[in-house]
Structure 1
Amino acid sequence: MSCIICMPRKPWDLPFFAEPREVAALRHILRLHLDAWHLPEVVDVAQVCVTELVANVITHVGIGTPTTLVVSMNANHLRIEVHDPDTRALPTLVQARLDSEAGRGMTLVDAMADRWGVELRGDRKVTWCEMATGLAEACAHTVRSLTAGVDELLNGYRVKKGLGLAGAESEPLALAAAEEAAIDIIADLLRWMQAHGRDADDVLDRAQTHFEAQAE
């Protein structure tokens, strides 16, 4: 079942240090946000663009550079920005061979994004790219019902724990198994956030705030 909803997609940012080991975490976080925004169709392209924009900072500005990832909507386009403090090292397109190990970063971004550019903002440089989402409007989207997506997520965890699929038990047992799966999901997410330097209590407080706001 699907419906047309207004999906607020508020800009978010994530400060990090530009290091190769951070790229996988950034890609994962980006996927989580885009799935929450119901934009799975742009995940792959967005992840490639983030990888290349961050790699550009690592290569041309330096490992360990304080950097910020900013993701937002610009009308019906997804906008990805990478902020770094070097206003001199400007990304450029180069004619790299297909088998080259270097020099292909911005060429890939140019090929995969609808548009990209560089802005100088006083004490920092912003390298950005945008890709079409196919949305009619910035906040409108056709999505499956929320409960359908939650059911799939819970069933995945229940299979992982050997608890079977929804409908395989009586309703009280099915709900109990779903509750255990939901607790596992929350615990795993909190462990993941904590491993990346986030405060678990703060994450829970923010989740509670979002829950209460959506329930109103």
Structure 2
Amino acid sequence: MTLELRLLATPKAVPELRHHLRNHPYDVRLCATELVTNVIDHVGEGTPVTVRVLGTDDGRTRIEVTDPDSRALPLLLRAASTDEHGRGMALLDALARRWGVEQGADRKTVWCEVEGLNSLAERGC
């Protein structure tokens, strides 16, 4: 099962995205919203994004967020306990089996894969 959503990366879009992903496991919802929040913080509020959630051949769930800025690449930072920002990619790195970036001339896709079945619905929940 593949889900694809086109939206503007705004703070209001984050809970809406969580709602669209309500039948997916918590890790999927958290990774997707962290990736969209990263676009808001580092590319700019109102940036058009495409969010895709799809199953992989090996049973993982892949989350992809594509935006039109190929230059603003995510960085894995070590935030201090007093820092107010900088934990999003560390959280994603801890949850995901693997993650990366695919760059194009006019866009980038940040993706991650989490373990487990593709959605709660597929587990009969």
Q: TM-score, normalised by structure 1?
A: 0.53
Deviations 1:39-78 (A, max 9, x none): xxxx211111112101110011000001110111112110
Unpaired runs of 5+ in structure 2?
none
1:68 corresponds to which letter in structure 2?
T
Q: TM-score, normalised by structure 2?
A: 0.89
Give the drift of 1:134.
Answer: 5.2
Q: Is the counterpart of residue 58 in structure 1 residue 40 in structure 2?
A: yes
SS at match of 1:15: strand
Query: Which structure: greater strand fraction?
Result: 2
| Alpha-carbon distance in 2 for matches of 1:73, 1:127 | 16
One-letter amino acid of the structure 2 residue matched with residue 73 of structure 1: G
2:71 aligned to which of 84, 88, 97: 88
Q: Which has the higher contact order (CA 8 A, sep 6+)?
A: 2
Moved over 3 A (4+): none
Counting aligned pairs with the same residue, the percent is: 48
Segment drifting more, 14-23 vs 121-130: 121-130
List gaps (5 residues or longer) in structure 1.
1-8, 35-42, 136-140, 144-148, 150-216
Deviation at 1:12, TM superposition (A): 2.2
Match of 1:25 among 9, 16, 30: 16
- Provide closer, same or farther for how the CA distance between residues 87 and 115 of structure 1 changes in structure 2, counting only shifts above 3 A: same
1:68 to 50, 53, 58: 50
CA 31–98 in structure 1, closer or farther in 2 if over 3 Å, else same: farther
Is 1:119 aligned to 2:119, yes or no?
no
Match of 1:12 in 2: 3
Count of residues in correspondence between the two structures: 121
Q: Please show how residues 63-212 of structure 1 align to structure 2 within 5 Å.
A: 63-75=45-57, 76-133=59-116, 143=124
